[in-house]
Amino acid sequence: MTLTDAVEALITATRADGRSKATIAGYRESLGHLVAFLGDRPVESIALADLRAYAAALLDRTERFADHPARKPLAGGLSVFSIASRLRSVKRLFNWLTQEEILAENPAKRLKLPKLPQKEPKALSSAAFAQLLAATAGDSVIQRRDRALLLVLADTGCRVGGLAHLRVQDVDLDAQTALVTEKGEKIRPVYFMPLTVEALRRWLEVRPPVDVDWLFPNLGPVRTYPQLTEEAVGEVLRRLRKVAGVVEPVTPHRFRHAFAREYLRNGGDLATLSRLLGHSSVEVTARYYAVFTPSELQDFHAKFSPVAGLQKRGNHGRTN
């Protein structure tokens, strides 16, 4: 099997597993760079040394977009995050080839990923969320819709695709839950607090009797799409940001980060959070969402340290 055939086989398997179009496109784009570097050779001939040479070449790059057909090259090498992403795709390809018994041994098993720097937290602040919510105070159809939309994002930590594709029948307000479809065809439950339930009830009371069952239909005069698309959700947030006078960036994914951070700050555990976010593993949750500043970590320590517990109980371990 040639390297190109292997990439196509992985993409077919990924599609069959119900993964999203974005994931499939990412594999195709990322692994295309590997094929360009190594050539379309038999996968059996690829050794760890070849993959390390590819990793070294990525690290040595002095231009960005040099191999992009539609972008002008720019000075400066690839970011460490771009390099790690490309190498994770390489490891995924050879892990899959080994699992499928196309290869007897995995040459990428000992291929190391670059160490990623600690990212700054991306979460929307509580103050900004309060400002946005205040901007929806009112009784108009748009204000009720926007309030419900904000609270669903903040209360569930769902992805923007899950929000955009919610249907009325997916929501059970009596049970305070809904079923969202994300990343392809993956369906998972999300849960509501009473404040969100109230906002959804008020929205459904005035939701126009459109001929589609989307929870958030397109209310604009030009209806290219029947539902509020992912891009349109972003436009709603940008409008509310301007009205509310919020300074920090406001995107759907910052609500997801805020949900994760507040859950952990309030004492929630990482394993349960991973399930609530719909992640495939706890490692993904820890890498991208359990990100805190040093002062926040100190606050965690002060709250949960065993010594803090002794101080609260007035038991300092002294003996008479």
User: Which residue numbers are catalytic?
Assistant: 159, 183, 253, 256, 279, 288
Report whether 167 contacts 183 (CB < 8 A).
no
Burial (CB count <10 Å: 0-12, 13-18, 19+), residue 36: exposed
- The burial of 32, by beta-carbon neighbours within 10 Å (0-12 exposed, 13-18 middle, 19 or more buried), is given as middle
- H helices present in the chain, as ranges: 3-16, 21-38, 48-60, 80-99, 126-134, 141-156, 160-164, 194-206, 230-244, 252-265, 270-277, 282-288, 294-304, 306-313
Dist. CA 257–CA 121, nearest whole Å: 8
d(CA 37, CA 117): 27
Query: CA torsion 168→226→21→78, rounded to 10°?
Result: -110
User: DSSP states of 289-303 as a string?
Assistant: T----HHHHHHHHHH
